[in-house]
Amino acid sequence: MKKLLAIAALFILCASMSVIQKKKKVIFFGDSITQQGAKKGGYIDLIQNTINQNNLQDQYELIGAGVSGNKVYDLYLRLDDDVLAKKPDVVFIYIGVNDVWHKASYGTGTDQDKFEKFYQALIRKIQAIGARVIVCTPAVIGEKKNGENNQDSDLDKYSASIRKVANEFKVPVIDLRREFTQFDKDNNPQDTSKGILTVDGVHLNDKGNALVAEKMWEELSK
């Protein structure tokens, strides 16, 4: 009997240790901004640095899942392979720039009503496996004051759609649209189209990556 109790106690201890040591798998799902975010100095790399500095390496596993040129329906098409199959605990969705940008540039963007439907479908399928979803609004296409860049109106509308869907599904929003436009308003006295938080008006520079990393870590570490 004592031997059985000892084995049972050992089994419980091992199981407890396994639970304690299980890393939280975090996937960053998006376009080229996320693809670059996984590189050295990118926002995912900066979050990893914060994790390392706080000796939390045994608590988080970060996975970049960004593909250049992707729009919301591209994310939906690769959701099963690039996200669900990996059984994540947390998924950041950071999409929308190309859905707006490519409408004007190439005529291949995403209509707002379809954007909402695909976004809802993404969240619904991710939540169905028990993962936590955190959504991000698209930041900028040009860094002049809000209203002076060509796609500002559409970016505001699509960001509003994301906020609406987030409220519907009760998921947190990292409102990069508001964060970036306010930062540019406060720190771009020459009203230039790039170079404040981005290298080209869209993709992040060091300050932009630092801002995104800070906001994402705030939410992830709650």
Q: Over the stretch 74-84, which tens digit does the pLDDT of each residue have?
A: 999 999 999 99
Q: Which two tokens stand for residue 46?
A: 């900066």
| CA dist., res. 124 & res. 83, Å (int) | 13
* pLDDT tens figures, 50-72: 999 999 999 999 999 999 999 99
Residues of the chain where predicted confidence (pLDDT) is lower than 50: 5-6, 8, 16-19
Domains of the chain (ranges plus CATH)? 22-220 (3.40.50.1110)
Cα 59 off chain centre by: 19
Report d(CA 30, CA 72) in Å as an integer. 8
Pair 88, 106: CB distance under 8 Å: no
Q: Which helix (H) or strand (E) holds 50?
A: helix 43-53
pTM for the predicted model, two decimal places? 0.90
Distance of CA 21 to CAs 28, 87, 129, 179, 210, Å? 22, 17, 21, 35, 29
